[in-house]
Amino acid sequence: MVRHRGNKEERQQALRRYLRSNPFATDEELAEKFEVSVPTIRLDRLALGIPEVRERIMAMAQEARSRMRGVTAEELVGELVELQPGVMGISILEITPPMLVQPAGVARGYYLFAQAHSLALATVGAEVVLTSSARVRYRRPVYAGERVVARAMVKVVKDSTCLVSVHSRVNGEIVFKGQYIIITPDAATGGGSA
């Protein structure tokens, strides 16, 4: 929680800074963070010339998608919003009703796996990518309507093998962690799956 209710100018500067490192925050999340109403956040964005979250994501997504290798947009689970092939990638998955366990209302874990896995493959940035193994940890259940922001980082590259680490967060809180060993099989001899 950031306390800026009192001073509009100060709050707007803080908002601009905050959005630079959290570009996928929704107005609702920002309102909670800055302890103001959603209409106040909208006015602040208008004053600062910052478009709403959907537009910010769409603009980033278009550029990120043009850099994808080895994974098509249809294969990717979630929406790619940032990609530096061989370095890092970010995707967002909105939890919708078909992904939920009934009656508990929490997302089936394999959706988080698929988001992280497909992002890890895209982040490697090779034309052909095979998965050798993965280790994942679920930190807390994810609920309907939550937006899962996954960030993949290429940690180690050795010959044709990459270790990609993925952290998935809801509103800044880690909900899932995964490590994927991915092979770019131009030089590979072993097994693996796409």
Q: Which residues of this chain interact with a second copy, rule CB under 8 A?
A: 71-72, 75, 77, 101-102, 104, 106-110, 112-114, 117-118, 128, 130-142, 175-176, 191-194
Tell me, rounded to whole angstroms, the distance of Cα 82 from its chain centroid.
Answer: 8
| Closest distance to a second copy from the beta carbon of 58 (Å) | 25
Sequence-distant (≥ 6) Cβ neighbours of residue 40 within 8 angstroms:
31
Instruction: Name the residue nearer to a second copy (CB basis): 10 or 75.
Output: 75
Contact yes or no for 91/120 (Cβ under 8 A): no
Q: Which is nearer to a second copy, 4 or 117 (CB)?
A: 117
Work out how close the CB of 121 gets to a second copy at its nearest, in angstroms, rounded to a whole number: 8
Pairwise CA distance, residues 100 & 48, whole Å: 37
Least distance to a second copy, CB of residue 83, Å: 18
- Min. distance of Cβ 116 from a second copy in angstroms? 9
The angle that helices 8-21 and 27-34 make with each other, rounded to 10 degrees, is 130
Neighbours of 26 (CB within 10 A): 15
Smallest distance from the beta carbon of 138 to a second copy, in angstroms? 4
Say how far apart CA 174 and CA 167 lie, in whole Å. 7
CA distance 77 to 72: 10
| Alpha-carbon distances, residue 106 vs 102, 112, 151 (angstroms) | 8, 12, 21
When the beta carbons of 37 and 96 are compared against a second copy, the nearer one is 96
Least Cβ distance, residue 165 to a second copy (angstroms): 15
Q: Identify which of residues 7 and 72 has a Cβ nearer to a second copy in the complex.
A: 72
Question: Residue 132 or 160: which CB sits closer to a second copy?
Answer: 132
Q: Measured from the CB atom, is 48 or 174 closer to a second copy?
A: 174
